[in-house]
Chain A
């Protein structure tokens, strides 16, 4: 509870119209960013320990988040041989999410969903303008894209994502094995 309340209180502060529109003084804007970042980190610990009790493959210690996906940067997806991505759906109805994960180009990955199906994936080059974003520290020049279907309401699904050996390269990879339903 105390780990979640920090974010509740911070969101209380963020109701101010300046926080929403960014029209406050610069040092106040920086402080809002600091408050939010610390509160989200606290909340993440709570989420991870709850999820690790529920989902396969999520150890509390190894549980990470990528807050810089908005500038196509993510330590885990760029450097791991294999990782589990768990998506938690906060809505009260099933939702389909198109996942985009930054990866080092010329690397192929496979994605397996909870039923063991290998999903159709696509590798999309990042626009040059994204590579030029000041402050972006990332080796990724492409994104791994796949469709996460029917995330359960107020629930989660985990996907096993594995880098293919270096002998593969994206071009030679056969059109990813299509999961049964996508053929139908």
Chain B
């Protein structure tokens, strides 16, 4: 019952027109609320003379305050549907947009993000994250991140296995980890994972929440040797980055297979070779 924008009630998603960061996920006919939004951390500025004056930079992620929302939602989402793929095209603002898609028969929902050029007029460094949240999901401040695409390492918020962590003054970056291909939460019945198509920093700072950093543009060096701000440009403006996150959600016993096969497929993709035909031939002739 009821239309599903992308996919179907076995695995699909519908966007809330009135608040485009809100979605309803359909998994095996269950309806699960999902919030997906783009935010940015302001980069800490400092002269690096003493520790508490360190600037965020290439070798340091040091946010200044809570992440700020990015989407002004001026433009309504656009839906595309057909026999191979269904998509929702969403423009957050001038320099952040996203396509949410599901291919027929596939076991994941793809969030293809496009970020940049990050504006530099206010000279405030911006470190952009994509944050997914399933309200009321209980994962006991525990999440799992892969280690170079292999074993999954257990992470607990504000905790270190090898020493007792004093109060974590850097309570955001102190909980960030390298996500080379996957970050997962589990409430013991289901497993909620986001797979990425390249290494990114990420964490789960609240129960039910996963965030991954997709792009950074910073205007101060962090005095760790590179002696240059992390401020890559192309064609005279800030660099544009494009990539995908793949959302999977399902029963714990089933999801490992789904994630393992998906990450291989996305990280070791087929190679494309093109051969132009000078004159149009029929299939039989070509055969």
Contact A20 B274 (CB under 8 A): no
Determine which of A20, A76, A89, A128 lies in contact with B91 in the assembled complex, contact meaning CB atoms within 8 Å: A128
How far does the alpha carbon of A158 sit from the alpha carbon of B5 in the complex, in Å? 33
Give every chain A residue within 8 A of B287 (Cβ-Cβ). Answer: 56, 116
Nearest A residue to B114 via CB reads A129
Structural contact, A122 and B82, CB atoms closer than 8 A: yes
User: Chain B: interface residue count, which band?
Assistant: 35 or more
User: B85 contacts A145, CB within 8 Å?
Assistant: yes
Chain A residues near B227: list those with CB within 8 A. Answer: 25
Residues of the A chain whose Cβ atoms lie less than 8 Å from the Cβ of B277: 57, 80-84
Instruction: Provide the bound-state CA to CA distance between A48 and B271, in Å.
Output: 11
Q: Say yes or no: A135 contacts B235, CB within 8 Å.
A: yes
How far is it, in angstroms, between the C-alpha of A70 and the C-alpha of B244 when the chains are bound? Answer: 11
Closest to A163 in B: B280
A120 and B104 alpha carbons, distance in the complex (Å)? 12
Residue with the greatest number of chain A CB neighbours at <10 A, chosen from B82, B272, B286: B272
Residues A95 and B265 in contact in the complex (CB < 8 Å), given A56-B286, A127-B89: yes
**Docked-complex contact B199 and A21, CB < 8 angstroms:** yes
List residues of A (52-88) whose CB comes within 8 Å of B's CBs: 56-59, 62-66, 69-71, 74, 76-77, 80-88
Contact indicator A62/B276 (Cβ below 8 Å): yes
Q: Does B281 contact A (CB under 8 A)?
A: yes
Leading 9 A-B pairs by shortest Cβ distance: A129-B97, A23-B58, A122-B82, A122-B84, A76-B274, A134-B235, A135-B235, A82-B277, A86-B273
A residues whose Cβ falls under 8 Å from a Cβ of B: 18, 20-26, 29, 47-48, 51, 56-59, 62-66, 69-71, 74, 76-77, 80-91, 95-99, 112, 116, 120-125, 127-130, 133-135, 145-148, 151, 160, 162, 175-176
Question: Footprint of A on B, CB under 8 Å?
Answer: 58-59, 80, 82-85, 87, 89, 91, 97, 99, 103-106, 114, 117, 199, 226-228, 230, 232, 234-237, 240, 242, 264-265, 268-277, 280-281, 283-284, 286-287
